[in-house]
Amino acid sequence: MTKAEIVADIAQKTGIEKVAIQATVEEFMTVIKESLSRGENVYLRGFGSFIVKKRAEKTGRNISKNTTIIIPAHNIPAFKPAKTFVVDVKKNSVK
């Protein structure tokens, strides 16, 4: 499902104009990105958590040049679904 499909689905279900829904979805994503970039996690009860994971410094290999490189410590965004979210997906999965 794409962002446009999400906007269309919400607009159809709520009767709100697509332009307003589009702006809301865009702002929602912006707020999450900004929070994660500041190192703040975002918790949505019943849905899941957008969290910042810290990756330690490690040694990697550049295979084409056959050299060792140091990959510095860094943060990455991650999503951890809520238990109810996981249960709902498992119940509705196709076998």
What mean pLDDT is reported for the chain? 94
pLDDT score at 53: 96
pLDDT score at 13: 96
Q: DSSP 3-state assignment of 84? A: helix
> CATH no. for residue 75?
4.10.520.10
* pLDDT bucket at 92, cuts 50 / 70 / 90: confident
- Residue 78: CB atoms within 10 A of its CB come to 12
Work out the average pLDDT over 36-58. Answer: 95
pLDDT score at 48: 96
pLDDT score at 58: 95
pLDDT score at 15: 95
Is residue 49 located within the same domain as residue 84? Answer: yes
- Domain, as residue range, for 51: 41-95
Is residue 70 located within the same domain as residue 93? Answer: yes
For 41, the enclosing helix (H) or strand (E) is: none
pLDDT score at 37: 95
Q: 89's torsion region: left (phi>0), alpha (psi -120 to 50) or beta?
A: alpha
**pTM given for the model:** 0.77
8 CB burial (10 A radius; 0-12, 13-18, 19+): middle
Is residue 71 located within the same domain as residue 33? Answer: no
Work out the average pLDDT over 43-62. Answer: 95
Number of domains in the chain: 2
Straight-line distance from the first to the last Cα atom of the chain, in angstroms, rounded to the nearest whole number:
20
